[in-house]
Structure 1
Amino acid sequence: MLALRRALAALFVCAAMTAQAQVLHFDELEGWRDDDPRPALAAFLTTCDLLKAPEWGPLCALARDAGDTPESARAYFELFYRPVLIGTPPALFTGYYEPELNGSPVRTPRFAWPIYARPPELRDGVVYHSRSAIENGALRGRGLEIAWLEDPVEVFFLHIQGSGRIRMPDGRVIRVGYAGKNGHPYRSVGQEMVRRGTHRPDQVSAQSIRSWVRANPGPGHAMLDHNPSYVFFRKLPDLPPEKGPIGAMGRSITGMRSIAVDPAYNPLGAPVWIEKSGRQPLHRLMVAQDTGGAIKGAQRADIFFGTGDDAGDAAGTVKDGGRMLVLLPIDLAFALEAGL
């Protein structure tokens, strides 16, 4: 039992231990029999070697030969795991994606808005220049520009997504990923628009924010500065084009099978069953492989929709309820439920 306690301590911080946890059966998961879990199993295998608790090691080895058919993949999870409901639904599901944007390696009249590499003096957890200060030139002239984009609104949303593909005028594509942030808290622009009365809650989406800011450039850019958090990037020269962006675990994430979670409650690398409601319900096995500044709480997830405009259109309208359950090795699941 001491080993279990140590394993749980490695998986969660104290927040998860104080949240309500309930072990369920797989037949209590809506749509479990209808999902093909093989893509989630493949995504799980990309990061399972990074799970440190000893219970995961043998399960990762068994997973490599478990996915020949949907039935065999499903049997693997049913045999070795239990779904655990942590916290109290309803969940909140949103979506994110990897943008594809036009850009330039140098500033031009068309491409005038930079994205920056991480400043060498930046320290994690230390408050740095705010978004408005950086946008007004606090880093200008230091050679930190990775690329120049044509639209400040797309720069803002690239920060929200945390990764992207930038096509240069010569056709070359560079991949960029998250390298750090300025230490300011994330503040929701959508919530501020509702507070100020420009939109109702049901009107707020990535698309509506883009449209409003572009139609109202002065107040719109001031509205974006309501979020003082600012993201820095790094080039990813060795990332193959068929691979997804790099998540919080340092590996590529998978469209419609990877989610961002709060690791205080759901361990990174663990399979997670989601039951998303809304106009397009989604019942699917995912893998917790990323995090985000706005992703806080046990019943909170951001679904990675993939790359490009279609993925962005789909991700930008998601703001749905439901519930999510993390799949844990059997012993860990029951130890967590017992509060050990």
Structure 2
Amino acid sequence: MKSALRHLGWALPALALLAGCNGKEDHAVKPEPHAIATYASADWKDLPTVSDSDLLAGFEAWRSACERLKRDATWATTCQAAVQVPAEAGKVRGFLNEHLQVYGLRSAQNNANGLITGYYEPVYPGSLTATDTASVPVYGVPQDMITVALDSVYPELKGKRLRGRLDGQVLKPYDTAEVINREGAKAPVLAWLTDPMDLQFLQIQGSGRIQLDDGRQLRIGYADQNGHPYRPIGRWLVEQGQLKKEDVTMGSIHAWAQANPGRVPELLASNPSYVFFSARPDSNEGPRGSLNVPLTAGYSVAIDRKVIPLGSLLWLSTTRPDGSPVVRPVAAQDTGGAITGEVRADLFWGTGSEAGALAGDMKQQGRIWLLWPKGAALPEVPKAP
């Protein structure tokens, strides 16, 4: 959701837990090591069977972005044809077979299995004004933050930006999360939350809703970031001996924070990254991902766009945390700094606590197939630096 965040390293389960999505990957100055993907030609009969309902829902999620994708030469012809396909399983299957070729994703070690996590749009209680209970500010973009596109000088840093502020005539790094949490920011306050952990999880997910006392909800989304690298707070808890690596979930982190309120500032300071938000129009649509189209619960995913181009149609085979199968076409409509790797996806589960519980526990093995327009050149495979 725009989806926001950053590199988990070994860490966390879903949510990209701590790291959920949100498509902004441009804060790091040093280029990331490239994933090395292999696209293995496959046949439609190689794909696991999908139900008609999942087929139609996944196809519709992908087709919802065709207004944007038809501007891309790779997808233009396919999207023009897709608009004419009726919502009938047989017609959709025929369209897919006629227009798309199947490729299985493989890691550099030729492994077809990868990591599938989940994320969601949280809803947290808050207020439009500061109160005794709502005292945690949700900031918009700071007025004194300067952004420099590095690829204008260093083409190899395409998509990378440096954030900072002027100190005299010197551009210095912008404040870390620890400084912002302690001293505030020269930025508009969009709303006030009741719990600093809610703000941290909101930044991890990259978008969400704030439940107001009058029944209204304020919808906010990722606007920018302070330029510091994301470090998972779950990793810090493991390093401190507070949690075991395999026990790190959003729930276990929140429980630890409730049991150790005096150490919450220390926990939050371990992640120097800080996300700034903007207000979004309220609607029944899902939040918008990196492709700037509403995400569809259960059928939109965040991906590593070094491996899978935004807008791609994928075939996903994984499981829920309870082991029940998830086999369906999904649309690559979002990115996230924590979503890195050759066989990697973060499945958007929707809005609210039920979706959050599912996303927070999801850390599954899975396989991904790329459904690519026939005759189009495959995505360029990144090379090791």
Query: Could you tell me the TM-score, scaled by structure 2's length?
Result: 0.78
Report deviation, 1:189: 1.9
Query: Which residue does 1:26 correspond to in 2?
Result: 44
1:110 pairs with 2:152: no
Query: Which residue does 2:308 correspond to in 1?
Result: 266
- For 1:243, the aligned partner's letter is E
Query: Which residue does 2:76 correspond to in 1?
Result: 57
Give the conservation status (yes or no) of the 8 Å contact 1:84–1:333.
no
The DSSP-based 3-state class of the residue aligned with 2:125 is: strand
Report deviation, 1:280: 3.3
RMSD between superposed Cα atoms in Å = 2.3
The DSSP-based 3-state class of the residue aligned with 1:165 is: strand
Query: Which residue does 2:365 correspond to in 1?
Result: 321
User: Cα distance 1:225–1:143, how it changes in 2: closer, same or farther (>3 A)?
Assistant: closer
Give the conservation status (yes or no) of the 8 Å contact 2:52–2:89.
no
Unaligned runs of 5+ in 2: 1-32, 148-160, 164-172
Give the conservation status (yes or no) of the 8 Å contact 2:143–2:187.
no
Report deviation, 1:249: 1.4
User: Cα distance 1:191–1:151, how it changes in 2: closer, same or farther (>3 A)?
Assistant: same
Query: Which residue does 1:133 correspond to in 2?
Result: 179
Query: Which residue does 2:89 correspond to in 1?
Result: 70
Query: Which residue does 1:257 correspond to in 2?
Result: 299
Unaligned runs of 5+ in 1: 1-13
Give the conservation status (yes or no) of the 8 Å contact 2:141–2:187.
no
1:1-340 → structure 2 map (5 Å cutoff): 15=34, 18-32=36-50, 36-51=54-69, 52-88=71-107, 89-122=112-145, 123=147, 124-126=161-163, 127-139=173-185, 142=186, 144-237=188-281, 239-240=282-283, 242-277=284-319, 279-332=323-376
Q: Distance in 2 between matches of 1:83 and 1:333?
A: 13
The DSSP-based 3-state class of the residue aligned with 1:58 is: helix
Percent of aligned pairs with the same amino acid: 35
Per-residue Cα deviation, 1:50-84 (whole angstroms, up to 9, x for no partner): 23442311211111222421222122112211222
Query: Could you tell me the TM-score, scaled by structure 1's length?
Result: 0.87
The DSSP-based 3-state class of the residue aligned with 1:243 is: coil
Q: Name whichever structure is richer in helix by fraction.
A: 1
Instruction: Answer with 218-227 or 205-214: which moved more.
Output: 218-227
- For 2:352, the aligned partner's letter is G
The DSSP-based 3-state class of the residue aligned with 1:331 is: coil
Q: Distance in 2 between matches of 1:230 and 1:136?
A: 13
The DSSP-based 3-state class of the residue aligned with 2:262 is: helix
The DSSP-based 3-state class of the residue aligned with 1:136 is: helix
Report deviation, 1:196: 2.9
Give the conservation status (yes or no) of the 8 Å contact 1:118–1:179.
yes
Q: Distance in 1 between matches of 2:51 and 2:218?
A: 40
Q: Distance in 2 between matches of 1:205 and 1:211?
A: 10
Give the conservation status (yes or no) of the 8 Å contact 2:302–2:332.
yes
Alignment size in residue pairs: 321
Give the conservation status (yes or no) of the 8 Å contact 2:316–2:368.
yes
The DSSP-based 3-state class of the residue aligned with 2:229 is: coil
